[in-house]
Structure 1
């Protein structure tokens, strides 16, 4: 069993398709901590914004792949820190992805997601929601997550 429980698929024989997430995750029956991670963006602890380049005119060039990779790294760091290294991003059981432009950015976000979660059997349950805006004009993706970590 994966550290984030057991995957449930409506049709386990179906090909995985372009996205890697199960239809549901079943939490392990062992004692565990539940870690609720707030919506995280790409801003790193050093104040940098991976995937953001400020242009001379004050606008921003935004890279969904770099931002998504940074968001997932932030979530990994948070879970590791909150559990004294016992957990990681691979303990995420449920996630909600908020993305500004589904047409332009979904594929790039999903590509980075699939680098971290390489199978439906280990990926968290996930919803991806297109939103009008995020709290900072430099942001194009935010992820909220719930992880379970054995005691």
Structure 2
């Protein structure tokens, strides 16, 4: 069994295609610790925004792929720290991705996501939600996650 439980698929015989996610993850909570990771954006503890280019005129450009990769790195650091090194991204059982523009940013976010979880049998369950705004206008992606690891 994967460290984030067992994958459940409604249609396990179908080819994965672009939909690389489990429909559900089944875990045994009595043998695991659970880590609930707050919504994380692409900003370091020092306040450096990743995936953002400040332009001379005061405007900015956001790179959704870079921000998604940065958010996933931060989440992995949080999970590793909270589990004392016993868990990582592959222990995530559920995630919610908040994104500003589903039409123009979803594909880039999803491509970065699929670099970590390349098949739906190991990917956590996930919801992706288009939102009007995030706490900082330079944020394009925020991810909230739940991970489990063995005691």
Using structure 2 for the length normalisation, give the TM-score.
0.96
Structure 2: stretches of 5+ with no match in the other structure: none
| Counterpart contact for 1:97–1:127, Cα < 8 Å | yes
**Whole-angstrom CA distance in 2 between matches of 1:17 and 1:53:** 33
Between Structure 1 and Structure 2, how many residues are aligned?
A: 151
Aligned to 1:140: 140
Question: Does residue 26 of structure 1 match 2:21?
Answer: no
Describe the SS at the equivalent of 2:96: strand
| Counterpart contact for 1:64–1:105, Cα < 8 Å | yes
| Counterpart contact for 1:40–1:71, Cα < 8 Å | yes
Aligned to 1:56: 56
Aligned 1:7-26 pairs, distance under 5 A:
7-26=7-26
Give the drift of 1:59.
Answer: 1.2
**Whole-angstrom CA distance in 2 between matches of 1:28 and 1:121:** 17
Give the drift of 1:19.
Answer: 3.1
Aligned to 1:99: 99
C-alpha RMSD of matched pairs (Å): 1.1
Structure 1 outlier segments of 4+, above 4 Å: none
Give the drift of 1:18.
Answer: 1.4
Structure 1: stretches of 5+ with no match in the other structure: none
Aligned to 1:76: 76
| Counterpart contact for 1:19–1:114, Cα < 8 Å | no
Describe the SS at the equivalent of 1:144: strand
Q: Deviations over 1:98-137 (max 9, x none)?
A: 0000000000000000001111111000000000000001
Give the drift of 1:13.
Answer: 1.1
Q: Deviations over 1:16-55 (max 9, x none)?
A: 1213211000014651110000000011233222210111
